[in-house]
Amino acid sequence: MLCDFGASNKVNSMRTLLRLKLLMSEVRWTMWQNRSSSNSSIRSLESNTSILKHLISKITATGPISVAEYMREALTNPVAGYYVKNDMLGAGGDFITSPEISQIFGELLGVWCVSEWMAAGKSCTFQLVELGPGRGSLASDILRVFSQLKAVLGETDISVHLVEVSPKLSQFQAECLTGDKTQTCNDDQLAYRSGTTRTGLPIYWYRRIEDVPRGFSVFLAHEFFDALPIHKFQRTEKGWREVMVDIDPESPEKLRFVVSHSPTLASSILIQNDDRRQHVEVCPEGGVIVQKLANRIAEDGGSALVVDYGHDGTKTDTFRGFKGHQLHNVLEAPGMADLTADVDFSYLRKMTGNEVTCLGPVTQRSFLKNMGIDSRLQVLLRNCHDPSARAQLIHSYDMLINPEKMGLRFQFFSVLNRGRLAQYRGMQKNTAPVAGFAELDMQ
C-alpha cells in the first residue's frame, strides 16, 4: 500500500534528506579495527582436497564438467564450499570489498535506499533485502542511516531480509547486526534464522531469493553476482563450443580446461547469434535471479541496486581466483580460493524484461560523487581529530573513487519499477531524478 505523497513534497523531502545525511558525523573508529582484524585463525583448511577428490571421482565416472558446475562446487558445496566454510573478507582474508573499506560507502547506499523509498511514494512497508551480505558491514552502515533518518521514515514498517547461503557468514552477520540475538527457525519456515537488529528492526535470513516475502523492497547486491557460476564458451571453426573442466592426463591429481568436441545444451541455448567475441562467459543463474528481482519490482514496487565489477557485453575471459589478496590459479585447490567472473550488465539488463526500467551501469566514482561523497568526507574530517583516523578516512575515500583503484572498475546498475520514472519521460537525460545516476539509460 502506498501512502499519499505529492511531487513537490518529493523534491522538498529529497533536499531535507540530503541535508540530514550531512548531519551524521560520527566516525566509526572501532569499525576500522574490526574491519581490518585478521581472520586467518578461523579459516578452514580441511576443505583443500575434499572438493578436488570429489570432482576427480565425478569426472572419472561421468566425464568433464562445465565451468559452472566446477564453480558451484568450489564456492557453495554444502560441506566444503569456499563461501560455506570460510570468512574470506578483510585484510586477513582473500579480498576486501568497498563496504569493508569505508563506512561512507554503506552510508551513501543507505541514503540511496531512503531516497528511492521516498521517490517511489513512501510505501508503508519497506523491506531492505540484501543478497550475499558478507560480514554484514553494508547492512550495518545502512541501518545506522535508517536510525538517523527516523524522522523521515516515520512509522514505516521496516524489515531486513538477508539472502545468504553460508552458515558461517550468516553467523558473522547475526553478530554484527543483532549482537547475536537470533533464533534458528523451524524447518517449515522459509527463513532459517531470525532476530531483531541492534536498531530494533525485525531481521530474517534465507537461502534463496524466492523465500523472501512479497512486498515493496529495495534489493541490494554488492559483489554478489560475480560469485555466481558462469559457463564459458569458445568460438571454434565448428561453431561455439563449451569450455569444460577435465582431469589433466599428465597429472591425474590436477584439473585442466578442455574444449568440448560437440555442442552442449548450454552452448546451444546460452549464446547470442550476433555475438562477435571469440570467447564468451554467461551466468544463467545471475540471469534467473535478476529476472526474479525484476518481476517482484514490477509487481510489488521497489528497486534494486547491483554493484560489481563488470562490463557491458564486451569482455571475454574474466574468470579469476583470489587467495590472500593474490591472483590464484582457478583450477588449483577448489574450495580454498575465491572464484569470480566479471558481471555482464548487458546480459542482466536483457534478462530483466520489459516491465521495469534499468539504469546504468555507471562507475562507482561517478555514483558516489553524485551521492555526495566529497561533502560526506568533509563532514567526517571536520569532526575527527585523531590523525590516524583522519588518514584512514582519506585513504579509504581514495580507494573507493580513484580511477586507478576501485573508482572505474566497479559499476552501479539499477532496476526500477516502471512507474518510478513515468512522470520524467522526455526530460533531459542528466536531469532525471534518480540519486547516484547522472545519466539515464531508460529502456
Q: Which residues bind ligand SAH (CB under 6 A)?
A: 76, 83, 89, 97, 99-100, 132-134, 163-166, 169, 222-224, 227
Q: Of 192, 128, 187, 126, which is closest to residue 164 (Cα–Cα)?
A: 192
Strand-strand pairing, 65-66 and 279-282:
unpaired
Q: How far is the CB of 235 from ligand SAH (least distance, A)?
A: 29
Q: In angstroms, what CA-CA distances link 314 with 174, 267, 417? A: 39, 18, 27
Q: Residue 123 or residue 166: which is nearer to ligand SAH going by CB?
A: 166
| Shortest distance, position 292 Cβ to ligand SAH, whole Å | 12
Partner residues linked to 243 by β-bridges: 232, 259
**288 vs 378: CA distance, rounded Å:** 41
Provide the Cα torsion 24, 395, 173, 191; round to 10°. Answer: 80
Round to whole Å and give the CA distance between 345 and 311: 6
Q: Which is nearer to ligand SAH, 169 or 271 (CB)?
A: 169
Minimum distance from CB of 175 to ligand SAH (Å)?
14
Other beta carbons less than 10 A from residue 32's beta carbon? 18
Closer residue to ligand SAH (CB): 219 or 240 = 219
Q: Could you give the residue ranges of the DSSP H alpha helices within 217-264?
A: none
- CA quadruple 92, 98, 101, 106: dihedral sign: negative
- Closest residue to bound ligand SAH by CB: 132
Residue 105 vs 126, nearer CB to ligand SAH: 105
What residue type is assigned to position 305 of the chain? L
- At its nearest, how many Å lie between ligand SAH and the CB of residue 375? 24
Q: Which is nearer to ligand SAH, 169 or 435 (CB)?
A: 169
Q: Output the smallest distance, CB 169 to ligand SAH, in A.
A: 5
Least spacing, CB of residue 234 vs ligand SAH, in Å: 26
Cα distance from N-terminal residue to C-terminal residue, the chain: 26
Residue 207 CB neighbour total at 10 angstroms: 15
For ligand SAH, give the closer residue by CB, 80 or 227.
Answer: 227
